[in-house]
Chain A
Amino acid sequence: MIFDQIFFYLFSAVLVAAAVMVVTSRNPVHSVLFLILCFFNAAALFLIAGAEFLAMILLIVYIGAVAVLFLFVVMMLDIDFSQLRAGVQRYAPIGAVIGVILLLELVLVVGGWRFSASAPALRLNPAVAGISNTDALGRVLYTQYAFLFETAALVLMVAMIGAIVLTHRDRRRSRYQNIAEQIARQPADTMTMLDLPIGVGVKQLGILRPKPKLAALPAPAEAPVQLASDHRVPEPITRVEG
């Protein structure tokens, strides 16, 4: 179909243009946004090639998670552009050398590339009839390549644990909320019910706070209230522990 080709070239052109903008745009946030555009177009190219599962995973993992973190970090950078430009002049030669080396490597790799004899035939019928993309991937990933797959997962796991160990410190000053303790709290721990005659009020004594733990209590104390009536001169209020 001609549409396939039109869309292929459209997405490829946008992909390349966005990739150029990633490198050249001045504002790093714009760079990341162009990178996201790049990912999007790459996903579209995967879709045209019939690799729908890969396209969706690219969207979910790279755009939905990785690029969000990039954006997170880059947005919080405090960038001084004049300093950045001074750095460019100093590091330009090193950058140029690395660039040339990478280019040479690329040329060597691509120059030595040979298609195996069976590759073009495989390329012409990428999809096995009756098996969806996801199904086909799952069949090889968890059987033939199970060892490699699990190893990759383990490497990621180790990296994750390493990151947590490096960054997580127990900060003594931070206050944690013990949810289990809060839920286990009973009304009787914090309040006292009183049965009073009509017309007699209750004066609050001291500050209300949770009762101390049962172990700390020496003996069941009197209720921390004092009956107030009009005929009596109120006695000086004393705090009764309870």
Chain B
Amino acid sequence: MGFFTTILGQIILRLLETLAVLVPLLILVAYATYAERKALAAIQLRKGPNVVGPFGLWQPFADAIKMVMKETIIPTGANRALFIMAPMITFGLAMTAWAVVPTGNHLAVADINVGILYLFAISSLGVYGIIIAGWASNSKYAFLGALRSAAQMVSYEVSIGFVMVSVLLCVGSLNLNDIVLAQNGLWFCIPLFPMFIVFFISGLAECNRAPFDLPEGESEIVAGFFVEYSAMSFAMFFLGEYANMILMSGMTTILFLGGWMSPLPFVPFTLIPGPIWFIAKICFVMFMFFWVRATFPRFRYDQLMRLGWKVFLPLSLLWMVITAGALVAFGWLPHA
């Protein structure tokens, strides 16, 4: 162990830890695209990708190779530097957020005190990739998509923030590890069930997923903010969307579904290591995302804004007050 206490050793150790998070994450992102296509196909009584490899399992790699081989086209009049930067921002931010996510007890690259704020900050930065892409493309459809997306993400962040506050009231700490440990025995999705639903739906809107996928409304504005993107830059947006979904599923898991803890606290279940439970729960929430996409029609823009500002915001505010009141009234405050 002597080597890993030196500065060089520390740097190498950090790099290895980062890789240990990023490599499974990237595999998960690649297979999320496959899983979505399979899930949608099953719901719509189709077969889905089944040609490349057994059960079509190599489809993500075939898609990746196709994307790499294609020509990257930068439209005339586009702002070159920003145009290329935008997909990198989207994808990079979705990766950066994983630095603080605990996949097991104290098993995070950075176990920081303000973990939940960090996650909130990073997810609120996601809007920049989209808005810069829309502006730099020099296209009205892209710009309209970007504006829609920015307004939508800013609106739903507000209620996500309040939901987080009501969870934090029950925990008494901003550390993600503490948040998961506080759910030992009772996951927050049971006492805070309405907030769980609000968080899940706001998460759909935050990721620009159906039924809130107006930013890319293909029937009105072609494909929204990434109309002008092709080849790898398009692939980065596409994968960034899935990475964001996985991140949102991870946040839902940590805040409401007990993170890495097993659902039943006795032997055959507790023997399975934490990261596996964590990934299983993420996959469950991801499946809910796909299921919603296959089931619900797209919202109209005014309906979306109404839901965010007139329903979720008052509801989450009210629930926050109720939570605080209940904690004080029954003496359940974590640090009292």
Contacts and interface: CB of A to CB of B under 8 A. Distances in A.
Our verdict on whether A and B bind, yes or no, reads yes
A71 B114 contact: no
Contact of A29 (B124, B135, B150, B157): B135
Interface string A31-69: 001001000000000000000110011011001110010
Contact of A64 (B121, B143, B173): B121
B interface SS class: helix
B303 A71 contact: no
B154 A56 contact: no
A63 B125 contact: yes
Interface in B120-137: 120-121, 124-125, 127-128, 131-132, 135
A57 B279 CA distance: 30
Interface residues of A, number: 21
Given A75-B135, A134-B113, A68 B127 contact: yes
A72 interface: yes
Nearest to A69: B154
B117 interface: yes
Q: Which of B82, B157, B174 has the most CB of A within 10 A?
A: B174
A-B interface, 7 closest residue pairs, ranked by CB to CB distance from nearest = A64-B124, A59-B121, A56-B117, A132-B113, A60-B121, A52-B114, A56-B114
B306 interface: yes
Interface residues of B, number: 25
Interface string A112-155: 00000000000000000000111000000000000000000000
A72 B150 contact: yes
A193 to B, nearest CB: 26
Contacts of B143: 75
Contacts of B150: 68, 71-72
B113 A72 contact: no
Contact of B128 (A36, A134, A177): A36
Contact of B157 (A36, A53, A64): A64
Contact of A134 (B118, B131, B154, B174): B174
B135 A65 contact: no
Interface of B: 82, 112-114, 117-118, 120-121, 124-125, 127-128, 131-132, 135, 143, 147, 150, 154, 157, 173-174, 302-303, 306
B13 to A, nearest CB: 15
Given A71-B150, A75-B143, 17 more contacts: A36-B128, A56-B118, A60-B121, A60-B124, A63-B121, A63-B124, A64-B125, A65-B157, A71-B128, A71-B131, A75-B135, A132-B173, A133-B114, A134-B113, A177-B302, A177-B303, A179-B303
B154 A60 contact: no
Nearest to B135: A75
Nearest to A57: B117
Q: Which of B114, B132, B135 has the most CB of A within 10 A?
A: B114
Contacts of A134: 113-114, 174
A133 B114 CA distance: 9
A173 B175 CA distance: 50
B112 A52 contact: yes
